[in-house]
Structure 1
C-alpha cells in the first residue's frame, strides 16, 4: 500500500528524456493516466503536466510545454497503444489530451465511473480523495489541486501529481474485485466504452441560432406578461386600505402561494392549495387559473432558458457545450447541466433554435415507446408482444381494452387517455395519481371513479403486468433495497424504497443501457464519416453531418439503435423515428 512519501517520480523536460521514459513503460499492460491543466475548459486552458504511472516504476511526469510540438507524435503513438488506461473522471483528461493532439485510445478503466456503478442510487462522493480514503485508507492531500499550474512547478505540486496517477493503480484491482463480486463488471465496461463518446459529444457541442432564440424569448416574455396581467385581476382579499396608489395595494403577488390562495378563495374558486395537482383540473372552468398556470410555466422557462442559454455560447467555438454526467440519474440515465438540455421545452419553437452548421444537417432519432416495449419483455405479456410484432399501435389497443370501443372508433382523446394509462400504470400509479397525471400531462379529465375503473380494466387486460408488479411487490414487502435491469445494472437504496421506484428501475435503467450501447456502436461506425454526435436526451440521439452524408448517416443511426435494443428486447421489434432536418425541431428538408 503506497503512502504519500514513497511515490517516486521522474520529471521529463526534454524529448530525449521522453524517449527513454516511454521506452521503459512500453511493456506495461496497465497505466495510470492523469493531467494537470491551467483550468477546466479544454478549449481555453492547456495541459501543464501529464502523469503516467506503471507498476513498480517511478511515475513519469511530462512537463508538456517543454516538449516541442514536432516531438509530440512520440507521445501520441504511446497513448495509442492498447495498454489499459486507468483514469479518474477520464472524460476531462481525454478532452484535454485530445485538444493537445494526444488523444488516448481505448481500453479505459475509470475509477470514478466504476465507483458510481457500485454505489448507484446511494448518496456518495465520487472524488479521488473519497475513494482513496474508503478503499485504501489513505488520506489524500488535495491542497495542490487549486494551486497555480501555469507557473514553474514546485516539488509539492510534482509530488501531488505523481500521487494522483500512482493511486489509480492501487484502486484498480480493488474496484475490479468489487465489480466482479457484485456482477457489475459488464455494466462498468459499458460505461468505460461510453466515456470517450460522451467526452467527444461535449467537445462537439450544439449550435444555437441566437436571433431565433431571442425572438422566441421575446414572445415567451410577452406571453408571460399577458398571463400575469390576467392573474393581476385577482385582488388581495379584504384589503380595504386606502392609498395614494390603490391599484398597487390590492394587486396580488403571483409568486406568493398565501396571497394567491386567499385571492382564489375570495373569488369563489373551490381550492385548498395552489399546487399544480389541485389547480390543473379547474383550469378549463376558471380562465384565471389557466392564466396562473401559464404564468408559472412561462416564468420558469424564461428564467431557466430565455435569459441564460445565450450565456452558454462558447467564445471560442460559438457553440453550446453542456456538461453530461453519464451516471447523473440514479437509474443510470444521463443528466446534463450548464445548460440542462433535458429540460428544454419539447415544443418545436424552442428546439428549432438549435441548428446545424452551414452545409450540414441534423439527423436525429428516438426510440418509439421503448419503455412499454421493455415492460412487454420483462412481464412476458403475450398480448403486448403480439401487438408489437404485428406493428399495432399499443395506445390504440389499450384504448379499446379499457373503453370497450372498437379499434376503428378510438378517438384521439381515447388514445391520449390510453397513453396516460400505459405510461402511468406500468410504474404502479394509484387511481388518484392517474387522474391527476392524465389531466396534467395529456389534458384528459377523469373522475376518480373512472380512473379506478380504467386502472382495474388495464390490469385485467394485461394480466402478466399484474404478476410482474406482484413479484416486485413481494420484494418490496420483504424489504429488498436493490433492483437490477436485464443488463445487470444495479440501483441501491439506503432506506426502504418507494414501490414506484422499484418498478421504475428495471425499465428506465434498461432504457439507459440500450441508449448507451447504441452510442458505443455508433461511435465505431461514425469514425469513417463526417458526422459527429452532438446531443443525447433520454432515448433520443442527435448527430450533425454534411448534407451529402445525411441519408447514409440516418441508416447508420437506425442500424446501431436497432442492434442495441435487439440485444435485450428480442423478439420484440423496436422502431424509431429518424428525421433529417436543419434543426432539432421539426423543420424537415
Structure 2
C-alpha cells in the first residue's frame, strides 16, 4: 500500500558532528578567534539546503539527541563511556543550530530519555505503516535495521543508498537480521561489546547459516574453535547487548508531535525569511543575508515591474568579509535559482565552426578532456568539452564506440582545426587539474598554451585543508551536484570504457564538468585577486604545474639489467635471512604471522612483552621489533628481512616494469594538491621514499642512468630548513653561523656543550645535529632522549641549554604557536597558509601534534616554496640557454638533471647561482651540485 507521499527524517545529531568536522574554524567575526564559532551552523545550513533540493518531500523533521541519560544508560552504565566529550565550541552551537533549523522550515525534535535513533525509528514505523515513503538522511549504519520496502537511508555526504538490497550487499545480511548482526559484532563507538573475535564476516556467515541469533544460540554447542568458545562465553551478555543495539520504534511522541500518527504536524513550513536574515547577520553569514535581500528585491521587482533605479542596500554594509563569505554568497545564489543548462553535442562542421568562433572570442574558456586512461602519458582523447558562459557548454565526441553511436566528426581533422587555438597563448584557458589535460593533448602532438587558471590549484592555495576534486568544489562553492564517473561507467570489473558511454550521456557529463569548472573559478578567483600574498602563491603553483609537466614528460632512463641484478642479490639475501631466522627460532615459521611470532618470541624464547594490541594480544609490530633487536638476534633478522623484501617488491622488481617501452624511461607523477605544507608527492612510482639510509637502498639509485654521452647531475639545497629557521627566528647566533659559512652543527655543539668550536668531538656534533633537526619538528625531551639513547633528564638539559644559547628560536616557537591559536593557520615566508584544524579544538595528543606542526610547517612550507621557485627559474634558464639540459626528477630539496657531458661546467656554475637566488632570506641559500653516470654517483 502506498499513498505516494514522502517523509524525510534527518539525523540531526549525525549532521551537526559532520558539519562541525567538515567546515573550517569559522567565526561570527572572521579573524577574531574570541568570537563565537559558526562552522557547524554554516555546515548544517548547507546540508539542509542540499537535502531539500535533492529529496522532494511532503513531510520532514530534523531529530537531535536530547541532553541527559537515556534508558540505555540505565541498562548498561558503561554505554558510550569511551566517547570523548563534545567539544566546547560545538556545544555552544547546538542552540543556534536548533533555532536556525526551525527558521528554515524544518520541525525539530529532541526527546528526553531516548536517542535520536529511537525517535527516527518510531516516526519511520508510523509513516511506513501508512504506506508513506520514508527517507532517513544519516551516515549512521546502525539505522540499517529500520530499512524495509518503504524505508530507505541515504548518506548525502557520499551518495550511499541503503535500501533492502543495499543493506544486504553491504553487510551480508538483510535488514531484518541487522539487530542480530549488530548484537554479535558489537559497537565499539558506543562501547557495546559483541562476541570477542567475531567480526562482520563471521556474524554474517552464522546468521545466513542458522537464520537468526536465537537459532544460533540454541545450537551454540555446534560452533567449533575459539569463535564457538567466545560465543558460548557471551550467552549471558547477548540479551543485554541486543537491548542496547535495538532501536526503539514505539516511543511515546504524542505530546511532542500533535496529531501523530496523522503526520500533519510534520508538513513542510515556509522559511522565516526575516528571522533568517537577522540570524545570518548576527552570525556573520553576510552572503546568506545578501541572498535573501536579493530574493526579496527580485520579488518586489516582479510585483512592481515599472519601478526603476538601483537599490542602495550595500551603502551601509561596510567591507565584504573574507573569502568564506564570498563563497557563501555564491553558494546561496546558486541555491536560490535552479539554473537551467544548455549543452550542445557537436556533430556537424557548422556547429563546430560556431563553437570555434565562440572560444576564439571568449575572455576565458573552460576546457575538459574525456580520455581512455587515468595514466596521462598513455591517455588518448575520446571527446572534448568547452564552456564560455554559465550554463552553456558543448561536447565534441570523437572516438565513441557502439551500435547506436551517431556519426562523429573526423578525429584528426578536429584536432588539426583546434590546434591553432589550443597552442595560442593569447587565448585564455581554464581547467581543473590542467597538467593532466596538457599531457593528454601532448600525446596527440599538441602543446597547449594559454592556460591561465586551474580551479584545483585555486582551491589548494585558498583552502589547502579541504578536498580539491571538482565534485567537492562544485558542491562546496556553488551548491551544484553532478553525475560521477562511476554513475556513468560503473565500478570495478563491470566498469566500461568512457568510449562506450552513450554520446548523449557523455556529453552531459563532460559539459557539466566544464560548466562547473567555470562556475567554481568565478567564486575562487575573486578571492585570490584581493589577497596579494595568496595570489603570489597561486601564480607560483601555476608555473610549477608547467615545470612539472616538463619533468614528467622527460622521465628518467632506467637500467633494467642493473635492477635485475639487484633483485637477484636481494632475493638470495632474503632466503638466507629466512634460514637464519629459522635456525635461531629452532623451527620454521611464517615470518609475517603476528601469532606465530608472538609464540616464538614470548613463549619459546622468553623475550619480554613490550606492549599489547588494542585487543590484548602481544604486539610484534615494527616498534617492538626495533626495541627487541637491541638485545635479541631474531628480531634484528626479521627487521632486515622486512626491509629487503619491501625494497625488492617496491623498487628492484617493479621499476623496470613501470618504464614506458617506447622510451625505457620511468615517468613518475607529481601530485601538487596533496600535502598541506605545499610539498610535492611522487607516485606511480614513488621516487621520494627510496630508503637511501641503507646501502641496498642507495644502490637502487644506481639504476637511474644517463644515455651515452650524457651524465646525471644532482643539485640539492644544503640545510635549507635550518636556514629558514634562522630567517624566521632572527636568532643572532644562528644567523651569524650561517652568514659566516660555519658548520652549523659544530657551532651548535660548541654553544650547547660550552666548548670551543675546535674542541667539538664527532659525538658532540652528532648530538647537536639531532637537536637542530629535532627542534625543527617540535621534538620533546622524551623524543630527543630516544633518538640519542640517553636519559630524558639529560635530553631536557640539552634542550634548555640550546634555548639559552638560541633565545630567538624559543621566541619564534612560542610566538608561532600563539599565532596559530589566534588565526587557525601559520604562514610560509611567501605567504602560503597552512591550516591547523586541531590547534584549538583537538584533544590532548592531537592538540600537541598541531602545536608541533605549527612550529615545523612554516619551515617545510617555505622549503617547498623555494624548490618550486627554483624549478621555475631553472626551467626558464634551460629554455633560454641550455635546451639540451633536462630536469628529470624533483625529490624533496633536490633537482636531478640529465645533460650532455659538454654542459657539465655550465651547470656546475649556473644552477647553484639560480637556486640560491630565488629566495631573499636573512641567510644565504646554498645549493650543491654532484655529477656522475647515475643518480647515486651524482651525490
Q: Bin the TM-score by the shorter chain.
A: 0.7 to 0.9
Find the counterpart in structure 2 of residue 188 from structure 1: 538
| CA 4–212 in structure 1, closer or farther in 2 if over 3 Å, else same | farther
| CA 158–262 in structure 1, closer or farther in 2 if over 3 Å, else same | closer
Find the counterpart in structure 1 of residue 342 from structure 2: 7
C-alpha contact (below 8 Å) 1:431/1:455 kept by paired residues: yes
| CA 71–548 in structure 1, closer or farther in 2 if over 3 Å, else same | farther
Matched, 1:85 2:429: yes
Shifted more, 143-152 versus 193-202: the winner is 143-152
What are the equivalent positions in structure 2 for 1:489-528 lying under 5 Å apart?
489-495=832-838, 496=842, 497=847, 498=849, 499-528=851-880
CA offset digits 1:339-379 (Å, max 9, x no partner): 11111122531111111223322222111000100100111
The count of aligned residue pairs is 562
* Displacement after TM superposition at 1:536 (Å): 0.9
Find the counterpart in structure 2 of residue 161 from structure 1: 510
C-alpha distance in 2, partners of 1:348/1:33?
Answer: 43
| CA 552–106 in structure 1, closer or farther in 2 if over 3 Å, else same | farther
C-alpha distance in 2, partners of 1:193/1:535?
Answer: 16
C-alpha contact (below 8 Å) 1:176/1:185 kept by paired residues: no
C-alpha contact (below 8 Å) 1:75/1:102 kept by paired residues: no
C-alpha contact (below 8 Å) 1:108/1:193 kept by paired residues: no
| CA 188–319 in structure 1, closer or farther in 2 if over 3 Å, else same | same
The residue matched to 2:688 in structure 1 has which SS? helix
C-alpha contact (below 8 Å) 2:454/2:542 kept by paired residues: yes
CA offset digits 1:262-284 (Å, max 9, x no partner): 54456465552445556546645
The residue matched to 2:375 in structure 1 has which SS? coil
* Displacement after TM superposition at 1:523 (Å): 2.3
C-alpha contact (below 8 Å) 1:328/1:336 kept by paired residues: no
C-alpha distance in 2, partners of 1:536/1:489?
Answer: 20
CA offset digits 1:540-578 (Å, max 9, x no partner): 1112223333333444432332122x23x2x31011221
- Structure 1 residue corresponding to 2:800, chosen from 456, 459, 468: 456
- Structure 1 residue corresponding to 2:520, chosen from 156, 163, 171: 171
Find the counterpart in structure 2 of residue 304 from structure 1: 650
C-alpha distance in 2, partners of 1:57/1:481?
Answer: 36
C-alpha contact (below 8 Å) 1:82/1:107 kept by paired residues: no
C-alpha contact (below 8 Å) 1:234/1:264 kept by paired residues: no
| CA 38–277 in structure 1, closer or farther in 2 if over 3 Å, else same | closer
Shifted more, 511-520 versus 372-381: the winner is 511-520
The residue matched to 1:54 in structure 2 has which SS? strand
Find the counterpart in structure 1 of residue 749 from structure 2: 399
C-alpha distance in 2, partners of 1:67/1:527?
Answer: 35
Find the counterpart in structure 2 of residue 110 from structure 1: 454
What are the equivalent positions in structure 2 for 1:405-554 lying under 5 Å apart?
405-438=755-788, 445-475=789-819, 478=821, 481-495=824-838, 496=842, 497=847, 498=849, 499-528=851-880, 529-554=883-908
Which stretches in structure 1 are left out of the alignment for 5+ residues?
Answer: 236-246, 439-444
What are the equivalent positions in structure 2 for 1:219-238 lying under 5 Å apart?
219-235=569-585
* Displacement after TM superposition at 1:304 (Å): 2.3
C-alpha contact (below 8 Å) 1:336/1:342 kept by paired residues: yes
C-alpha contact (below 8 Å) 2:562/2:703 kept by paired residues: yes
C-alpha contact (below 8 Å) 1:121/1:331 kept by paired residues: no
Which stretches in structure 2 are left out of the alignment for 5+ residues?
Answer: 1-333, 400-408, 491-495, 612-619
C-alpha contact (below 8 Å) 1:352/1:583 kept by paired residues: yes
| CA 587–578 in structure 1, closer or farther in 2 if over 3 Å, else same | closer
C-alpha distance in 2, partners of 1:335/1:41?
Answer: 16
Matched, 1:313 2:659: yes
C-alpha distance in 2, partners of 1:556/1:60?
Answer: 48
* Displacement after TM superposition at 1:286 (Å): 4.1
C-alpha distance in 2, partners of 1:407/1:287?
Answer: 40
Find the counterpart in structure 1 of residue 670 from structure 2: 324
C-alpha contact (below 8 Å) 2:391/2:515 kept by paired residues: no
C-alpha distance in 2, partners of 1:282/1:407?
Answer: 38
Q: Which has the larger radius of gyration?
A: 2
Find the counterpart in structure 2 of residue 243 from structure 1: none
* Displacement after TM superposition at 1:486 (Å): 1.7
CA offset digits 1:516-539 (Å, max 9, x no partner): 111122222222412222211111
| CA 399–69 in structure 1, closer or farther in 2 if over 3 Å, else same | same
C-alpha contact (below 8 Å) 1:432/1:448 kept by paired residues: yes
Q: Normalising to structure 2: TM-score of the pair? A: 0.56
| CA 161–288 in structure 1, closer or farther in 2 if over 3 Å, else same | closer
The residue matched to 2:342 in structure 1 has which SS? coil
* Displacement after TM superposition at 1:514 (Å): 0.9
C-alpha distance in 1, partners of 2:391/2:462?
Answer: 30
| CA 76–530 in structure 1, closer or farther in 2 if over 3 Å, else same | farther
Find the counterpart in structure 1 of residue 639 from structure 2: 293
| CA 385–21 in structure 1, closer or farther in 2 if over 3 Å, else same | same
* Displacement after TM superposition at 1:314 (Å): 2.1
| CA 469–149 in structure 1, closer or farther in 2 if over 3 Å, else same | closer
Find the counterpart in structure 1 of residue 682 from structure 2: 336
C-alpha contact (below 8 Å) 1:76/1:101 kept by paired residues: no
Find the counterpart in structure 1 of residue 141 from structure 2: none
C-alpha distance in 2, partners of 1:418/1:540?
Answer: 24
Shifted more, 57-66 versus 43-52: the winner is 57-66
- Structure 2 residue corresponding to 1:364, chosen from 714, 723, 728: 714
Find the counterpart in structure 1 of residue 418 from structure 2: 75
Runs of 4+ in 1 over 6 A off after TM superposition: none
CA offset digits 1:385-405 (Å, max 9, x no partner): 111111111111112222334
Find the counterpart in structure 2 of residue 242 from structure 1: none
* Displacement after TM superposition at 1:257 (Å): 4.4
C-alpha distance in 2, partners of 1:13/1:224?
Answer: 63
C-alpha contact (below 8 Å) 1:4/1:163 kept by paired residues: no
* Displacement after TM superposition at 1:205 (Å): 1.7
* Displacement after TM superposition at 1:203 (Å): 2.2
| CA 38–409 in structure 1, closer or farther in 2 if over 3 Å, else same | same
| CA 155–287 in structure 1, closer or farther in 2 if over 3 Å, else same | closer
Matched, 1:348 2:702: no
Find the counterpart in structure 2 of residue 573 from structure 1: 924
* Displacement after TM superposition at 1:420 (Å): 1.1
Q: Normalising to structure 1: TM-score of the pair? A: 0.86
Matched, 1:100 2:444: yes
Matched, 1:37 2:371: yes
Shifted more, 2-11 versus 210-219: the winner is 2-11
Considering Cα pairs closer than 8 Å and 6+ residues apart, tell me whether 1 or 2 has the greater RCO: 1
C-alpha contact (below 8 Å) 1:352/1:587 kept by paired residues: no
| CA 291–414 in structure 1, closer or farther in 2 if over 3 Å, else same | farther
C-alpha distance in 1, partners of 2:501/2:464?
Answer: 40
The residue matched to 1:545 in structure 2 has which SS? strand
